[in-house]
Structure 1
Amino acid sequence: MTPLERALETVIADLPPEVRARHRFHFAEGWDETLFLALEDGRYWSGGAYLSADTEYDVANVAECMQDLMMEVLWIVWPECPAHDFGLHVDFEARRPVWRCKGGSHVVAPIGALHDAPS
């Protein structure tokens, strides 16, 4: 399994169960060797983070691409802060990628552990 595939598994763990059950996500190669996160039917959104298999920020990049795909293709705001109902953003805490709420300026959970976060 490649680092990007592991990163995708980590990010998928944070998706709502109904989205995980309904969709299969994969990487699709663009016109200039750029990778995109795509749905099972080939739909994707190209306006997000650049994906590369050679970066230490794989999980953060995949999480940003997943957010873009969810919003721009599926019209789903994801993820949201359970305390403030604001969308969460990718950030880093102690060099680890996390979901941060800008409304309360707090870390909700590490990416991949959103379902373990207190609600």
Structure 2
Amino acid sequence: MSDSMAAYEAKVEQLEREVYLGLREDDLDPRQVVALACELFDWFPHTDAVLEVVERNPAEVSPAEMTALARRILDDAGFDPGFDLAPERLVTLRAALRIVARDLPMRGIEGEPEIEVLEDWFPVVAGVRLADGERLNWGGQILPGMCDDPTMALTGLAIMIQESLLVWTWQVWPVCPRHRLGVHGEQRNGTAVWWCAGDGGHMLAPVGELSGVRARKPARKSSVRRAAL
């Protein structure tokens, strides 16, 4: 990457952050929106929102219009505030981990796991560290945008932990006691669940409630009477 492109990207990112914070704190500075639009207009194919901000006189744009245009520009640019500018995402993710953690004793894992923000990754993501220090990052990581919705965060976290444990231990977990099949974390009807594909598919349990699943009892052997010859 050339020095000029690196400088441009750094400038755009800084303006994006300032515009986002202005929106978040209800203190949007129209000059920052204009500056961001001008930077994007000069370097990349511009969107309708960028073009409108560049062409219009800012004094003639109402605060409500400028707010809407700023949101559209950030969306068009693919800006993501990450965890640092949207700390509520970590609150959501930690709440999700407390739910998933209720299932871990069923796998023989004790102690309280923690969310770990991986600052050295790009983009910055989150992983899980168990109480014994083991990292569960082999099944992927959690992107900040996954934490805007609690159910999405819970489902993504369950899948990541499940796949990480599979890579780490080479053992399938959880397992449906009725079908002897490994189940998967899925979102069904707005709820994060452990889903079994047996018999056309069914919910084993909501994520966090595996302790309520009863183990399958061995089937009784039926006696066979033989007719006397």
TM-score (norm. length: structure 2): 0.45
Q: Name 1:114's counterpart in structure 2.
A: 210
Q: Cα RMSD between the aligned structures? A: 2.3
1:91–1:97: 8 Å Cα contact kept in structure 2? Answer: yes
Greater C-alpha radius of gyration: 2
Aligned-pair identity (%): 29
Alignment of 1:91-110 (within 5 A): 91-104=186-199, 105-110=201-206
TM-score (norm. length: structure 1): 0.81
Q: Name 1:77's counterpart in structure 2.
A: 172
TM-superposed deviation, 1:118: 3.9
* Pick aligned residue for 2:148 from 54, 60, 80: 54
- SS class of match (2:173): coil
- Name the one with the larger strand percent: 1
- Find runs of 4+ consecutive structure 1 residues off by over 6 angstroms: none
1:51–1:62: 8 Å Cα contact kept in structure 2? Answer: no
Bigger mean CA deviation after superposition, 47-56 or 77-86: 47-56
- SS class of match (1:48): coil
Q: Name 1:43's counterpart in structure 2.
A: 135
Q: Which runs of 5+ in 1 are unaligned?
A: none
Q: Which amino acid aligns with 2:133?
A: D
Task: Note closer, same or farther for the CA distance 1:47–1:24 as it changes in structure 2 (3 Å cut).
Answer: same
CA offset digits 1:15-37 (Å, max 9, x no partner): 2346232x542222221211112
CA distance in 2, matches of 1:55, 1:47: 20
Bigger mean CA deviation after superposition, 24-33 or 3-12: 24-33
Higher relative contact order (CA 8 A, sep 6+): 1
- SS class of match (1:20): coil
Alignment of 1:1-80 (within 5 A): 2-17=91-106, 19-21=108-110, 24-30=112-118, 31-32=121-122, 33-39=124-130, 40-48=132-140, 50-52=142-144, 53-56=147-150, 57-80=152-175
2:127–2:136: 8 Å Cα contact kept in structure 1? Answer: yes
CA distance in 2, matches of 1:65, 1:112: 14
Q: Which runs of 5+ in 2 are unaligned?
A: 1-89, 216-229
1:37–1:69: 8 Å Cα contact kept in structure 2? Answer: no
1:36–1:51: 8 Å Cα contact kept in structure 2? Answer: no
TM-superposed deviation, 1:55: 2.9
Bigger mean CA deviation after superposition, 63-72 or 9-18: 9-18
Task: Note closer, same or farther for the CA distance 1:17–1:46 as it changes in structure 2 (3 Å cut).
Answer: closer
Task: Note closer, same or farther for the CA distance 1:17–1:88 as it changes in structure 2 (3 Å cut).
Answer: closer
Q: Which amino acid aligns with 2:94?
A: E
